[in-house]
Structure 1
Amino acid sequence: MSIATLRTSYLAASLASVSRSMLKQQVPIKSQYAATNSPPPPEGFMPGVANSKFIRNTHHEALRNPELAGVANGETKKMNTFQAINDAMSIALATDDTACVFGEDVAFGGVFRCTMGLAEMFGRDRVFNTPLSEQGIAGFGIGMAAMGSTAIAEIQFADYIFPAFDQLVNEAAKYRYRSGGEFDVGGLCIRTPCGAVGHGGHYHSQSPEAYFAHTPGLKVVIPRSPIQAKGLLLASVRDRNPVIFMEPKILYRAAVEMVPVGDYELPLGKAEILTQGKDLTVVGWGAQLYVLENAIQLAQKKMPGLSVELIDLRSILPWDVETVCNSVNKTGRLLIAHEAPKTQGFAAEIATTVMERCFLRLEAPIQRLCSYDTPFPLIFEKFHVPDMIRCAEGIERAMKF
């Protein structure tokens, strides 16, 4: 045995001994996980989602939505967001023989379990793992879609979509245009988890929707709940344009609804008005909507009688200009909130368009409540993202101007 091997063995043994000693001396931490001895889930927690007025907890509440008229007489099943996404992909695979699901670890169920059971149900030639190469995953999907297949690709975290940026922006988005409409990659859908989780740090918390919203030829979609996730994902998979479908991972288990079990789609490019109001328009998407819901309730306690119109944008590209501007023309005030940094965030695009179209109806400066212009911090996350307090203060500024 060489001296180097002896040193390595001695070092490993010493580290193991020190680790055991530290564990024995460690002071127990009182937390919600202490009783079960289980770590917090990787997708984090989001308090208040279960009690949200926007969560459809019963069969009748779920099917009351006019957008679900096609399944109004069908069954519903209790699902969280990742189960609803899994159900959408199962339907896509069952109804389209050319459809394939692929990405890092998807054959094993995926990091967040979104593809659990699909490989066993549809075979490993249709649901399969890829090498750890986001550029390769996107390029492979473009090639599949160019040949007429339906490619449902997963980028494991939105933070890691940037190696695929060239493929998506310069190839997928421009394929139809540069061939004069002769070829396209409309069968491509890129799924990717996004957003803050409470402990993700700068490589597992980003919301990069604005990068892609600057690219003609792509569509960008972000759902807020299981019902929305299933319908919007099926629409994204079947849309004849490449779609980037960003899933707020903090909602994978936090949001639970009675979801129609049938096959249904929700419209892309169409916002949804969640609450009607006459004093202020508030726009958000994804997990931020639940923050805004609580912020509105907090503001209403300070300003009794405040009437707020809350809009879920749903599609970032194309976004529903008409719905937002019609609302602002009615209320005269606008607040936009998102988790991405403020500078060049998508709120800037919305604010500019509203200024151009609604200038004479505005009663106050447009409020943008966003994350700060820094890399996403770990221990300071709760100060970094726009929380209920910051959003409520923004509402108050808009109303008191």
Structure 2
Amino acid sequence: MVQGNLGIEPEVLKSIYGQMVRIRAVDKAIQAGLSAGKFTFTYWPMTGQENIPATISQLTTARDYMVTTYRGIHDQVAKGVDLYGMFAEALGREGGLNKGKGGSPHISDPSSGSMVTTAIVGAGPVIANGLAISAKERGEDRVTIVNFGDGATSIGPVHEAMNLAGVWKLPIIFLCQNNQWGEYTPIETYTASPNFFGRAQALGFRGVQLDGNDPAAFYNGMKEVIESVRAGNGPVFVEALTYRMGPHAGVGDNYNAAKDILAAAKERAPVEKTRSLLLDAGICTEDELSAVEAAAKAEVEDAIARAMTSPVTPASETLVDVFADATCVPTRGIYPVREAEGEFPGPTATMTMATAITDAQDVAMAANPEVFLLGEDVGDPQGGAFGTNKGLQTKFGKNRVRNTPISESAIIGAAIGSSIAGMNPIAEIMFADFMGVCLDQIANHAAKQRYMSGSATHAPLTIRMQVGGAIGGFGAQHSQNLEAWLTHVPGIKVLFPSNPVDAKGMLLSAINDPDPVVVLESIMLLFTQKAEVPTGDYRIPLGVAKVKREGTDVTLISYGFELHNCLAAAEELAKEGISAEVIDLRSLVPIDYHRVLESVKKTGRAVVVHAAVEFCGLGAEICSTINEELWGQLKAPAIRLGADYAPIAYSREIEMSQVPGAAAIVSRVRASLKS
């Protein structure tokens, strides 16, 4: 064979092989170390897939974004991730790329362009869309490549991501490394599709199938694809055919594969084939290749040796990186005193809560071009299901206010990815009930990104959700108060305003916060509450409760629309000579236990009220804290009042009885006074 027939420049082929042997050296070292008991961590081998990232490394730079999966250690090596930092991370050491907090399945290394590694199958593409949005909006020529296996093509977010990318013509490559196995299951037993690249055509953009084991063919195919995407021609789906020769997890051969099929795959393995090609074509000598291989082995051995000496990440790091500010973490016995907002100077205007929410977004978008809004029907003329965004698309344009498909995972994923890239997205979820559709993106990605990356990356997005309940007619799937789902997930801040002034000021704080924040907006209050609201930019600090009514006999603690029921109950109690202090929590995480406890010290009694189901609700947590901290000072145990343990009924009569109203609160207070 002569060099002219290679179909690829000899120097490029040599460089590809150099990356392949680095990947192979990492693979061998890990498998040897695990087998010998030298170290212990979960490993998902990519043996046989080395050519794919090795080739891509010759066509991209650190400026280009990459998202990959827990099996993507080969992608990390080729992307330029520091090997010492990578091994230290896998070993849970302080010197790890992410301080040992994410491990190999969660590497983030912005310096190399390795932005997100997800351990959730199929979750990466929706986040990668957000990275691509940021590049497109900033006029950058970055390409985003999201890697996933063939098994991920069966999961919904992959389809959602492809659909959104096609509609918005995003500069993204969906790279399916088709290794013929979905974990332990071969392709023919989980799909009837003849291929995967054809799915792109059904969604309106191009798909190609390339030989992922042939460096020349893959290089030329990917070169054209990357150039096309970089030029702004929209997304491309690449199905890279290869074969995973190892098991789903662990070491050794793929024991699920038939022996003859595995033997044939080994004959086509890219490392060995490329080595022979370099020798046969006269590009390299045996000594030259041996030197390249020895250098790779030495590099890996040195990285592992240094990683093994790095200290184990200590327990003192436990609460660091949950939030940007560790004092926001709810911690037993530690109740920070946060300064409340002062008087807001300047002009005001009469606003409903809905108008105040719109105004907050208007102020934020005018101040910062990196703030944008996305969600279902958020554009004009509708302005969202409840009109909380009216006029914003007309004022700021369709790129700043983006109507999306009905696709909650794609919405939240895009918001996460763009926020990781430094933008400040506001994602609207039409009803809080629909959180269940995209809970993976909220709880496993937005909430955990800062922690898993050791603050190398973070996701400063805002998620707005409308909340039903006690209105009647919405039924069981549009009326749930699900704040306890969110407060139980470390890494998410949760706000629940009760009036227009707080709605605007807290939303502006959320948009400018360094952490993911969910703002829950009560549908009942959107148009029933009016107030004089400052017209400019002002902030309500997070984690600061407010005394809405002073009292001496009992403290009523609530938030959202139930706060108004508590105020109404306090009026009724006053007629009986009972003085109730009413506290609006406003912020559920971080929570202002200091002001709550100071109030209950004064009154000696507490009733926590929420519209969410009482069983396992936030009220139980607050009552427990009050009872623990003030035991011996209370006149009666703190008690809670929430909704009955049943789905919200369509029948208005049932719903009004199962969600606490003023009369039920009065009754509960009376019970407390009898204790």
**Which TM-score band (shorter chain)?**
0.7 to 0.9
CA deviation after TM superposition for structure 1 residue 289, in Å: 1.0
2:431–2:468 CA contact under 8 A, matched in 1 = no
Tell whether 2:474 aligns with 1:200.
yes
Larger Rg: 2
User: Aligned partners of 1:326, 1:261: CA distance in 2, in Å?
Assistant: 33
SS at match of 2:476: helix
Aligned residues: 331
Partner of residue 191, structure 1: 464
Aligned residue number for residue 334 of structure 1: 606
| Residue matched to 2:594 | 322
2:323 corresponding residue in structure 1: none
Structure 1 residue 232 corresponds to structure 2 residue 506: yes
Q: 1:162 maps to what in 2? A: 436
Match of 1:270 in 2: 544
In the other structure, the counterpart of 2:398 is 124
**Does the CA contact (< 8 Å) of 1:68 and 1:264 recur in 2?**
no
Which structure has more RCO (C-alpha within 8 Å, separation ≥ 6)? 1
> Is contact 2:492–2:518 with CA below 8 Å preserved after alignment?
yes
* 1:242 partnered with 2:547: no
Q: Which amino acid aligns with 1:238?
A: N
Deviation at 1:367, TM superposition (A): 2.2
1:287 maps to amino acid: F
- In structure 2, the partner of 1:80 is 352
Q: How does 1:89-238 map to 2 (within 5 A)?
A: 89-108=361-380, 109-186=383-460, 188-196=461-469, 197-238=471-512
What TM-score results when the alignment is normalised by the length of structure 1? 0.81
1-side partners of 2:431 and 2:621: how far apart? 25
Give, in whole Å, the separation in 1 of the partners of 2:569 and 2:579: 13
Runs of at least 4 residues off by over 2 Å: 66-69
Alignment pair present for 1:373 and 2:640: no
Report the alpha carbon displacement of residue 294 of structure 1 after superposing the two structures with TM: 1.1
Distance 1:68 1:90 in 2: 23
CA distance in 2, matches of 1:319, 1:253: 27
**CA–CA distance in 2 between the matches of 1:269 and 1:162?**
26
Distance in 2 (CA, whole Å) between partners of 1:354 and 1:290 is: 22
- Amino acid in the other structure paired with 2:601: N
* Counterpart residue type for residue 441 of structure 2: Q
Give the deviation of 1:201 after TM superposition: 1.1
Tell me the secondary structure at the aligned position of residue 341 of structure 2: helix
Partners of 2:564 and 2:599 lie apart in 1 by 20
Helix, strand or coil at the partner of 1:198: coil
How far does residue 198 in structure 1 lie from its aligned partner after superposition? 2.2
Structure 2 stretches lacking a partner, 5+ long = 1-339
Cα-Cα RMSD: 1.1
Uncovered stretches (5+) of structure 1, i.e. residues with no partner: 1-65
- State which of 287, 291, 299 in structure 1 corresponds to 2:573: 299
1:16 paired residue number: none
User: Shift of the alpha carbon at 1:157?
Assistant: 0.5
Deviation at 1:68, TM superposition (A): 4.6
Q: Percent identity?
A: 39
| Pairwise CA distance, 1:257 | 0.7
Query: Contact between 2:450 and 2:458, CA under 8 Å: does it hold in 1?
Result: yes
For the 8 Å contact 1:195–1:339, the answer to whether it is kept is no
Shift of 1:368: 1.2
Alpha-carbon distance in structure 2 between the residues aligned to 1:68 and 1:125: 36
State the SS of the aligned residue for 1:247.
strand
Among 618, 637, 644, the alignment partner of 1:346 is: 618
Question: How much does 1:203 deviate?
Answer: 1.4
Letter in 2 for 1:125: N
- Partner of 1:378, secondary structure, is coil
Does the 8 Å contact 2:570/2:579 carry over to 1?
no
Deviation at residue 180 of structure 1 after TM alignment: 1.1
Is 2:535 the counterpart of 1:261? yes
2:342 and 2:638 map into 1 onto residues whose CA distance is 33
CA distance in 2, matches of 1:299, 1:357: 27
- Give the whole-Å Cα distance in 2 for the aligned partners of 1:388 and 1:174: 38
